[in-house]
């Protein structure tokens, strides 16, 4: 074989190898504009594949596939489901409720308010010791939701975590050498500690691997009133020790950085990331104690879920004498504030999906309690819809939801 004969096959081999690494399926190409889309396809004439690549072309990334497939609803209308409900007899009633109404999603506890996992992970998992087997077979549960077309959201309580705080006191807040607890006896772990971030995001990854299509982080904050007693507590500040600003901005920075970290880490899993946030955070520049900045969190998530329960606003907020008794008015006033804020984010604007109230608030009353029923739930939904917010989540801590509610009152 002469030299010329040797060069030709080598050249062909190199060209073939190059082509193996270039995706030619034009259906998998996401172009930023229709014109760009038209220009992308199989190579023409003597153009090489490399010449066809445009630096602005966004190729579909490789992502994790759980094997379960859920379509995003026209608008998420969901309910909260505890671990015991998801794994017990109540689950069938909740399935029936969603199946027979315009509801279409469930927010299911994966890591609950005490810090326990709601199902047993694989043997040898670092989370085995914190698991309570409420949901015996979470994969089978998700397969039922897939069959019924119910969108599954995994709720993960982050920094309120008595279990982790007591097992790892160095990751918590301490008072006189003991783990600090609030008036309800709840302990929090320290948002400055990146080990805590990793601990929670790893649980989120496991939820995605099971098949959940969205991870919702709750209690993404410092304890309430933290600005009043921070000086009395012992805790580390980790990488934020040299932060140039004071306590409020340092807390905001840590909380926001956790959200950014979680979003980046979960990108491979092709799940949406949502965060629950106090409603009043939209009405202040920065929450002084808990470290939530509404805009900074919102621009780093796919979905923002403000907890706007009328019972949780002080009297005369938005000029409303007793917000719990005026759900329509309260939600309307809140929606105006939120819409104005989120408009500032333009193309970084997340979906708004507030938590609304389907429970009574007897602690607000010395006499008879104002009852929440069909009219009150529908009033909140109507107020959201009239202000361009079409998604919502219903909260009832016992998962006992009002019957005969019209969940799409403005669409009839």
Q: Domain spanning 77-395: which superfamily?
A: Glycosidases (3.20.20.80)
| pTM, to two decimals | 0.85
Q: Are 102 and 78 in contact (CB under 8 A)?
A: no
pLDDT per residue of the chain (412 residues) written in tens, 0 to 9: 443 343 444 444 434 444 344 343 333 333 333 333 333 333 333 333 334 444 444 444 578 999 999 999 999 999 999 999 999 999 999 999 999 999 999 999 999 999 999 999 999 999 999 999 999 999 999 999 999 999 999 999 999 999 999 999 999 999 999 999 999 999 999 999 999 999 999 999 999 999 999 999 999 999 999 999 999 999 999 999 988 877 899 999 999 999 999 999 999 999 999 999 999 999 998 999 999 999 999 999 999 999 999 999 999 999 999 999 999 999 999 999 999 999 999 999 999 999 999 999 999 999 999 999 999 999 999 999 999 999 999 999 999 999 999 999 998 6
Q: Are 356 and 381 in contact (CB under 8 A)?
A: yes
What are the structure tokens assigned to 293, written together?
A: 């900045």
Classify the phi-psi angles of 176: left when phi > 0, otherwise alpha if psi is within -120 to 50, otherwise beta: left
CA-to-CA distance for 161 and 143, rounded, in angstroms?
29
What are the structure tokens assigned to 408, written together?
A: 């799409």
CA distances to 15, 60, 61 from 41, in Å: 18, 15, 18
CA-to-CA distance for 23 and 186, rounded, in angstroms?
53
Domain ranges of the chain: 3-59, 77-395
Q: Are 159 and 188 in contact (CB under 8 A)?
A: yes
Q: Are 327 and 315 in contact (CB under 8 A)?
A: no
Residue 411 has a pLDDT of 84
What are the structure tokens assigned to 288, written together?
A: 């002084």
What are the structure tokens assigned to 269, written together?
A: 């899993």
**Which position has the token pair 């950014």?**
260
CA-to-CA distance for 356 and 380, rounded, in angstroms?
7
Name the DSSP letter for residue 160: B
Q: Please, is 37 exposed, middle or buried when counting C-beta atoms within 10 Å of its C-beta (0-12, 13-18, 19+)?
A: middle
CA-to-CA distance for 169 and 112, rounded, in angstroms?
19
């Amino acid at each position: 074989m002469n030299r010329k004969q040797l060069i030709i096959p080598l050249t062909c081999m190199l060209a073939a190898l190059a082509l193996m690494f270039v995706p030619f399926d034009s259906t998998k190409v996401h172009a930023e504009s229709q014109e760009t889309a038209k220009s992308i396809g199989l190579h023409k004439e003597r153009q090489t594949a490399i010449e066809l690549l445009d630096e602005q072309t966004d190729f579909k990334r490789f992502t994790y596939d759980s094997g379960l497939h859920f379509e995003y609803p026209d608008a998420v209308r969901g309910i909260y489901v505890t671990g015991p409900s998801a794994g017990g007899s109540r689950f069938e009633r909740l399935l029936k409720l969603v199946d027979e109404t315009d509801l279409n999603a469930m927010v299911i506890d994966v890591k609950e308010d005490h810090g326990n996992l709601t199902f047993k992970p694989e043997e040898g998992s670092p989370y085995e010791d914190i698991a309570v087997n409420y949901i015996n077979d979470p994969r089978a549960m998700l397969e039922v939701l897939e069959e019924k077309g119910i969108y599954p959201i995994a709720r993960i309580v982050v920094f309120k975590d008595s279990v982790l705080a007591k097992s790892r006191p160095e990751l918590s807040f301490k008072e006189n050498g003991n783990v600090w607890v609030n008036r309800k006896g709840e302990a929090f772990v320290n948002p400055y500690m990146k080990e805590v971030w990793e601990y929670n995001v790893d649980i989120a990854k496991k939820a995605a691997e099971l098949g959940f299509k969205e991870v919702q982080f709750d209690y993404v904050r410092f304890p309430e009133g933290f600005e009043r007693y921070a000086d009395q507590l012992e805790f580390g500040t980790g990488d934020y020790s040299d932060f140039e600003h004071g306590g409020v901005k340092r807390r905001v920075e840590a909380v926001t950085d956790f959200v950014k970290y979680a979003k980046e880490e979960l990108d491979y899993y092709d799940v949406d990331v949502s965060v629950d946030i106090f409603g009043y955070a939209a009405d202040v520049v920065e929450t002084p104690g808990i470290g939530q900045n509404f805009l900074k969190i919102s621009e780093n998530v796919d979905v923002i879920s403000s907890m706007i329960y009328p019972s949780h606003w002080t009297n005369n907020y938005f000029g409303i004498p007793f917000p719990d008794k005026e759900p329509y008015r309260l939600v309307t006033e809140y929606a105006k504030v939120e819409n104005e804020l989120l408009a500032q984010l333009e193309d970084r604007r997340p979906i708004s999906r507030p938590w609304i109230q389907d429970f009574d608030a007897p602690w607000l009353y010395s006499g008879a309690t104002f009852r929440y029923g069909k009219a009150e739930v529908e009033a909140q939904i109507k107020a959201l819809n009239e202000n361009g917010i079409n998604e919502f989540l219903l909260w009832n801590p016992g998962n006992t939801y009002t019957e005969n509610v019209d969940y799409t009152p403005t669409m009839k």
